[in-house]
């Protein structure tokens, strides 16, 4: 007779969060947040976080904001806080932004999302945007300069960005902009840009110049054309995005194009991303849209079609179809990679 083995029981993990916010004065607020997990994800024991924040608006254009947060974890002690102070003045003629952000290497908010730890960030932006009085076609000129400086707790610089831009905004809402960006990035782990193109660790400094023109949204054809050229892997980029072509009051097309030419020590590469979305409004309560896209890096063609119908107030029906094909397959028709068909409506 074989003895029965007792099942292994694992203690369930529970999480909770509390957020309280109160408006004060005319346009200001203060708040606090507390989160907790009974079992932490990255170390043993539990995890708790407590934070306070505030936003204070003065006059019409001046805003001060900040927060302070601290985490408690069993195996992560000391260097476990994060704080931020920000000032913004957003006048019509002048603009100023100043920011100081600090995230310690052991700060661990497990009920939430932390993009990056162990950093000290300083940011400054200055803007001068006078309105034109002599050139009738021009609404406003803008000169913007910004600087970003990020280092870790040991004082090692990981990011340093200087960016300058001059732009002209026309009376018809078109915008012409030219800028230059000087960037330094410390790469601590190698990564792959394209298949067969690997970038090793080290410090990289590069300069990129850009020239762009944006068509106003009131036009029948709108969108942004941007050309960039720089020493970032000796890269040249031409993009056309945020576009829209109104074929009729019911039918609109949104083409998108991104062309990249990159030169690395291992060789030269090109990448193309071409696609478009079409939307047809059947009635004010029903529309159909389709997105088709080609990616040369993955040699794939993908399509997404969707129908939305609000057949009564608060009740909607969605019909979604997705398909992806491998354009590199040796056949006249690209090989099928995946396909899905889904309908969704109100629960019950």
Q: CA-CA distance, 61 to 163, in Å (whole number)?
A: 24
Q: What percent of the chain has pLDDT over 70?
A: 92
pTM above 0.95, yes or no: no
Q: Confidence band (pLDDT; 50, 70, 90) for 194?
A: low
Q: Confidence band (pLDDT; 50, 70, 90) for 329?
A: low
Contact 138, 170 (CB under 8 A): yes
Q: CA-CA distance, 111 to 34, in Å (whole number)?
A: 10
User: In this structure, is residue 224 part of a structural domain?
Assistant: yes
User: In this structure, is residue 245 part of a structural domain?
Assistant: yes
Mean pLDDT along residues 122-128? 98
Residue 330 DSSP SS3: coil
Q: CA-CA distance, 163 to 267, in Å (whole number)?
A: 29
| Residue closest to 273 by CA, chosen among 255, 287, 285, 288 | 255
- Residue 51: pLDDT over 90: yes
Contact 243, 224 (CB under 8 A): yes
The upper half-sphere exposure of residue 342, i.e. CA atoms within 13 Å in the direction of its Cβ, equals 11
Q: CA-CA distance, 32 to 155, in Å (whole number)?
A: 31
Give the chain's end-to-end CA distance (angstroms, integer).
49
Sort residue 327 into left (φ over 0), alpha (ψ -120 to 50) or beta: alpha
User: In this structure, is residue 263 part of a structural domain?
Assistant: yes
User: In this structure, is residue 81 part of a structural domain?
Assistant: no
Q: How far is CA 105 from the centre of its chain?
A: 23
pLDDT in tens, 245-286: 999 989 999 999 999 998 877 778 888 999 999 999 999 999
Count of structural domains within the chain: 1
Q: How far is CA 82 from the centre of its chain?
A: 22
Q: CA-CA distance, 259 to 239, in Å (whole number)?
A: 6
- Residue 9: pLDDT over 70: no
User: In this structure, is residue 13 part of a structural domain?
Assistant: no
pLDDT of 112: 79
DSSP code of 38?
A: S
User: In this structure, is residue 118 part of a structural domain?
Assistant: no
User: In this structure, is residue 309 part of a structural domain?
Assistant: yes
Structural domain harbouring 337? 217-348
pLDDT of 331: 61
User: In this structure, is residue 66 part of a structural domain?
Assistant: no
pLDDT of 114: 85
Residue-wise over 181-195: b if at least 16 C-beta within 10 A, else e? bbbbbbeeeeeebbe
pLDDT of 10: 44
Q: Confidence band (pLDDT; 50, 70, 90) for 4?
A: very low
For residue 280, what are the β-bridge partners? 251, 288
pLDDT of 78: 84
pLDDT in tens, 89-113: 999 999 999 999 999 988 988 887 8
pLDDT in tens, 146-186: 999 999 988 899 999 999 999 999 999 999 999 999 999 98
User: What is the rounded average pLDDT for all residues in the chain?
Assistant: 88
Q: Confidence band (pLDDT; 50, 70, 90) for 193?
A: low
- Residue 214: pLDDT over 60: yes
The upper half-sphere exposure of residue 285, i.e. CA atoms within 13 Å in the direction of its Cβ, equals 9
- Residue 1: pLDDT over 50: no
DSSP assignments along 217-269, one per residue: TTSSEEEEEEEEEETTTTEEEEEEEEEEEESSSSEEEEEEEEEEEEEETTEEE
| Residue closest to 69 by CA, chosen among 24, 122, 19, 121 | 19
pLDDT of 288: 96
For the ranges 141-150, 298-307, 321-330, the maximum mean pLDDT occurs at 141-150
């Amino acid at each position: 007779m074989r003895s029965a083995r007792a099942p292994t029981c694992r203690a369930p993990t529970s999480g909770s969060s509390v957020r309280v916010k109160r408006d004060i004065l005319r346009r200001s607020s203060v708040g606090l947040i507390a989160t907790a997990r009974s079992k932490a994800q990255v170390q043993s024991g539990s995890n708790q976080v407590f934070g306070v924040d505030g936003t204070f608006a003065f006059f019409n254009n001046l805003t001060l904001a900040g927060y302070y947060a601290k985490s408690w974890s069993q195996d992560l002690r000391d260097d476990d806080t994060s704080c931020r102070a920000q000032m913004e003045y957003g006048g019509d003629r002048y603009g100023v932004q100043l920011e100081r952000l600090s995230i310690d290497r052991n700060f661990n908010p497990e009920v939430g999302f932390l993009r990056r730890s162990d950093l000290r960030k300083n940011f400054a932006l200055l803007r001068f945007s006078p309105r034109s009085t002599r050139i009738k076609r021009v609404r406003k000129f803008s000169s913007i300069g910004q600087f970003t400086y990020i280092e870790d707790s040991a004082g090692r610089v990981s990011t340093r960005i200087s960016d300058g831009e001059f732009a002209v905004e026309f009376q018809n809402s078109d915008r012409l902009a030219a800028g230059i960006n000087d960037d330094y990035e410390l790469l601590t782990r190698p990564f792959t840009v394209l298949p067969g193109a690997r970038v090793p660790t080290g410090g990289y400094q590069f300069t990129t110049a850009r020239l762009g023109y944006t068509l106003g949204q009131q036009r029948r054809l709108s969108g942004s054309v941007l050309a960039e050229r720089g020493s970032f892997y000796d890269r040249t980029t031409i993009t056309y995005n945020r576009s829209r072509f109104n074929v009729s009051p019911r039918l609109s097309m949104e083409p998108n194009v991104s062309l990249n030419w990159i030169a690395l020590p291992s060789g030269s590469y090109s990448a193309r991303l071409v696609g478009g979305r079409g939307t047809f409004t059947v009635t004010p309560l029903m529309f159909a849209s389709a997105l088709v896209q080609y990616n040369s890096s993955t040699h794939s063609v993908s399509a997404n079609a969707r129908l939305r119908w609000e057949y009564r107030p608060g009740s909607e029906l969605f019909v979604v179809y997705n398909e992806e094909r491998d354009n590199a397959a040796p056949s006249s028709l690209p090989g099928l990679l995946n396909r899905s068909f889904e309908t969704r409506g109100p629960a019950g």
